[in-house]
Amino acid sequence: MKRHGHKVYVETNAGNGSGFTDSDYKKAGATMLSTPKQIFDAADMIMKVKEPIKPEYNLIRQGQVVFTYFHFASSKDLTLAMMKNKCIAVAYETVQKEDGSLPLLIPMSEVAGRMAPQEGAKYLEKTMGGRGVLLGGVPGTEPAEVIVLGGGIVGTNAAKIAAGFGAKVTIMDNNLYRLRYLDDVMAKNVTTMMSNPFNIRQAIKKADLVIGAVLIAGAKAPKLITKEMLKLMKPGSVVVDVSVDQGGCIETCKPTTHEDPTYVVNDVVHYCVANMPGAVPFTSTIALTNATLPYAVELANNGWHAACRHNEELKLGLNIIEGEIVYKGVADAFGYTYTDVNEVM
């Protein structure tokens, strides 16, 4: 940003939790300000990670660009607040490429996917409530059986890491094209299988670790493992339901936090943290900013009007413009009026 001639303000101690100190930011040319109010007053554009919190609602002013995750459909309060303050809300989660992919969600899925076997391995340890199985086994023993439900970004990354540990991995997806691709690129200890109730039942009987990674865009995750099916799993086995943020694909999963990540149902350890990347903020920060920075530079260099006119991907990130909802999914979520983005640009 600095190199592009912009003045950058950073809130004091903002990077502490992620491992970046105030002096790191100063060395890079930023000006440190000690309160959020000072930042919101000084800046034309605000970049965050999570959605604005209540004390920030009224600090944001008309015409100010706010570029962050909003997930408006899950909060009416936030939607109303961002309409009221008349900001330009550009949401990371709806920036979209021509092929339909979501470039600012992918890094978080990569992080969560790669974390899933790591967490699973931890909770398979006896002292953590698991069966006491080592993911990769050792010579003369069976490796753990890992089932990955969903072979998208999370599932692919999870399978790769579980396979790297030496586990016996099965990825299940209901998209045959995806399974063909995965069969081509995965290691020898990864098998692909069509996702259907019969195959899932058979697979979970043998599983030590099940990773939930399905997504149906814009919908709640399908319950691929019901409460009744859970009884088929071995005592001490572990489920890591990454898709818990969309309701979870395992019926017995409910969102947990890093402070209290697991609970047990039918002797199966459930890990269902809704914000997994938060546990590895150093990696997550760099992964996310690698993806967001080029868009942020475009917004700052050209202003949101010109940047969004020129870049369709960024234009799809526009959710609310000076009080008008310009993203249909958000308007539909609350029955509010939807305005075509081209009418207000």
Active site (catalytic) residues = 71, 245
Cβ neighbours of residue 170 closer than 8 Å, sequence gap 6 or more:
145, 146, 147, 148, 190, 191, 192, 193, 203
Q: Are 39 and 33 in contact (CB under 8 A)?
A: yes
Closest separation in Å from C-beta 239 to ligand NAD? 13
Closest separation in Å from C-beta 161 to ligand NAD? 14
Q: Are 224 and 214 in contact (CB under 8 A)?
A: yes
Nearer to ligand NAD, 150 or 236 (CB): 150
**DSSP character string of 76-135:** HHHHHHHHHTT-EEEEGGG---TTS--TTTHHHHHHHHHHHHHHHHHHTSGGGTS----T
Q: CA-CA distance, 43 to 33, in Å (whole number)?
A: 11
Closest separation in Å from C-beta 317 to ligand NAD? 17
Which pair of structure tokens corresponds to residue 85? 């303050």
Position of minimal CB gap to ligand NAD: 152
* CA-wise closest residue to 149 among 91, 209, 90: 209
Hey, what amino acid is at 119?
Answer: E
Closest separation in Å from C-beta 2 to ligand NAD? 30
Nearer to ligand NAD, 122 or 131 (CB): 122
CB neighbours of residue 117 within 10 Å? 28
Hey, what amino acid is at 312?
Answer: E
Closest separation in Å from C-beta 83 to ligand NAD? 25
Q: Which run of H or of E encompasses 168?
A: strand 168-173
* CA-wise closest residue to 66 among 56, 74, 55: 56
Nearer to ligand NAD, 28 or 194 (CB): 194
Nearer to ligand NAD, 143 or 248 (CB): 248
Nearer to ligand NAD, 85 or 109 (CB): 109
Nearer to ligand NAD, 133 or 229 (CB): 229
Query: CA triplet 292, 306, 50: central angle to 5 degrees?
Result: 30
Chain residues binding ligand NAD by CB under 6 A are: 108-109, 112, 149-155, 172-175, 178, 195, 213-216, 221-222, 224, 242-246, 274-277
Closest separation in Å from C-beta 149 to ligand NAD? 5
